[in-house]
């Protein structure tokens, strides 16, 4: 008998990164996550039933309430609390710093798997999906639509992380093109001045968007485990600098913590949910955070 793969198999970024088929990865992650969610004690994060509506051509037949059909001889679809038909725009950082990896998965590969899985989950809930990739300006833009999942995955598949970025300017451009209020999911390592990033995110909020931030971090960026003297290179500008890690480690870690705390504080002040993700973490933390955000938004509405 073949053993059933553990849930972690579908959520481990190191294993998923070995698969080249992005749609397959997205489906595996979402199916594995939803299977685990239905078995989880975290019932509040499930797609909670809200009401019925009459069946329309094209609806998912799996959501027909057959008990209601038996009583009424009519087809009804189960509606859930997260069914708000929202437009969800994934805004992905494609600058050179996202290509960094100290272990099995670089930040950009993790980000692509994350966006693919979240888009698949979003489409499964009946929402519209779109994507904007950005460096110092927009690179690709696909507006949210119920028909754009495959196009989104195609954009992800051909995206590469390279060059310098101007994150505040790029976020402003996203705000300019995302004219219809919805949900904007920012996925970046957020190299930039927190004050300027905060102002740009405030622009998104002022234009009616809900914003969820995923801050991607490589484990080495937190711990700075380097020991031997070496030449460090900036992932975006290419600037090279010889350093002795023992001389700068304490200062680096202090500045890193301050940068992250500054970002988190500015996002909180803007009413933006902030989620920090390390590339050695399973994807379920991000998926739980996203689903919780969607449910919270639908309850407010």
- Three-state secondary structure readout of the chain: CCCCCCHHHHCCHHHHCCCCCHHHHHHHHHHHHHHHHHCCCCHHHCCCEEEEEECCCCCCHHHECHHHHHHHCCCEEEEECCCCCCEEEEEEECCHHHHCCCCCCCHHHHHHHHHHHHHHHHHHCCCEEEEEEECCCEEEEEEEECCCHHHHHHHHHHCCCCCCCCHHHHHHHHHHHCCCCCEEEEEECCCCCHHHHHHHHHHHHHCCCEEEEEEEECHHHHHCCCCCCEEEECCCCCCEEEECHHHHHHHHHHHHHHHHHHHHHHHHHCCCEEEEEECCCCCHHHHHHHHHHHHHHHHHC
Does residue 83 or residue 31 have the better pLDDT?
31
When computed from its CA atoms, the radius of gyration of the chain, rounded to whole angstroms, is 21
Give the pLDDT confidence of 238-251 residue by residue, as tens digits: 889 898 999 999 99
* Entry pTM: 0.81
User: How large is the average pLDDT for residues 151-163?
Assistant: 95
Please state, in angstroms and rounded to a whole number, the distance separating the CA atoms of residues 163 and 238. Answer: 9
Q: Could you give phi then psi for residue 81, rounded to 5 degrees?
A: -60, -30
Q: Which of 67-76, 113-122, 172-181, 187-196 has the lowest mean pLDDT?
A: 67-76
The pLDDT tens digits for 87-108 are: 999 999 999 999 999 988 999 9
Q: Which of 25-29, 49-53, 84-88, 294-298 has the highest mean pLDDT?
A: 25-29
What is the pLDDT, as a whole number, of residue 55? 66
Range from 9-13, 60-64, 92-96 that averages highest in pLDDT: 92-96
Asked whether residue 296 carries a pLDDT value surpassing 80, the answer given is no
How wide is the angle at C-alpha 236 spanned by C-alphas 230 and 238, nearest 5°? 45
Going by pLDDT thresholds of 50, 70 and 90, the confidence category of residue 235 is: confident
The answer, yes or no, to whether residue 199 has pLDDT greater than 90, is: yes
pLDDT band with cut points at 50, 70 and 90 for residue 285: confident
Separation between Cα atoms, residue 91 and residue 87, nearest integer Å: 13
What average pLDDT does this structure show over 153-170? 94
pLDDT category, 36, cuts 50, 70, 90?
low
Tell me the CATH number for domain 87-300: 3.40.50.410
Confidence of residue 49 (pLDDT cuts 50, 70, 90): very low
Q: Measure the N-to-C terminal CA separation of the chain; round to a whole number of Å.
A: 48
Q: Higher model confidence: residue 87 or residue 6?
A: 87
**Can you give the pLDDT at residue 120?**
94
Model pLDDT, residue 174: 94
What is the share, in percent, of the chain residues with pLDDT greater than 90?
Answer: 55
- Taking 90 as the threshold, does the pLDDT of residue 200 lie above it? yes
Helix axis angle, 22-38 to 284-300, nearest 10°: 70
pLDDT band (50, 70, 90) for residue 6: very low
pLDDT confidence of residue 40: 46
Q: How far apart are CA 242 and CA 233, in angstroms?
A: 9
Binning pLDDT at 50, 70 and 90, where does residue 292 land? Answer: confident
Average pLDDT, rounded, for the chain? 84
Give me the residue spans of the domains in the chain: 48-80, 87-300
């Amino acid at each position: 008998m073949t053993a059933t793969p553990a849930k972690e198999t579908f959520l481990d970024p190191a294993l998923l990164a070995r698969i080249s088929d992005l749609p397959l990865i997205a489906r595996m992650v979402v199916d594995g996550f939803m299977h685990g969610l239905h078995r989880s004690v975290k019932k509040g994060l499930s797609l909670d039933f809200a009401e019925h509506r009459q069946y329309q051509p094209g609806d998912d037949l799996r959501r027909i309430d057959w008990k209601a059909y038996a009583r009424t001889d009519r087809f009804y679809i189960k509606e859930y609390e997260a069914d708000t038909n929202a437009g969800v725009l994934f805004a992905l950082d494609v600058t050179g710093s996202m290509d960094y990896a100290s272990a099995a998965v670089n930040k950009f590969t993790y980000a692509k798997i994350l966006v693919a899985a979240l888009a698949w989950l979003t489409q499964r809930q009946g929402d519209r999906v779109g994507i904007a990739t950005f460096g110092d300006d927009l690179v690709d833009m696909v507006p949210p639509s119920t028909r754009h999942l495959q196009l989104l995955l195609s954009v992800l598949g051909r995206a590469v992380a390279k060059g310098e970025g101007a994150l505040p300017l790029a976020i402003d451009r996203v705000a300019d093109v995302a004219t219809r209020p919805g949900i904007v999911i920012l996925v970046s390592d957020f190299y930039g001045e927190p004050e300027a990033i905060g102002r740009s995110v405030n622009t998104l909020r002022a234009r009616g968007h809900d914003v969820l931030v995923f801050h991607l971090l490589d484990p080495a960026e937190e711990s700075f485990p380097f020991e031997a003297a070496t030449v460090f290179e900036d992932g975006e500008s290419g600037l090279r600098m010889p350093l002795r890690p023992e001389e700068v480690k304490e200062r680096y870690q202090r500045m890193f913590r301050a940068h992250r705390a500054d970002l988190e504080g500015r996002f909180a002040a803007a009413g933006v949910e902030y989620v920090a993700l390390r590339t050695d973490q399973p994807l379920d933390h991000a998926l739980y955070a996203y689903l919780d955000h969607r449910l919270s938004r639908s309850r407010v509405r």
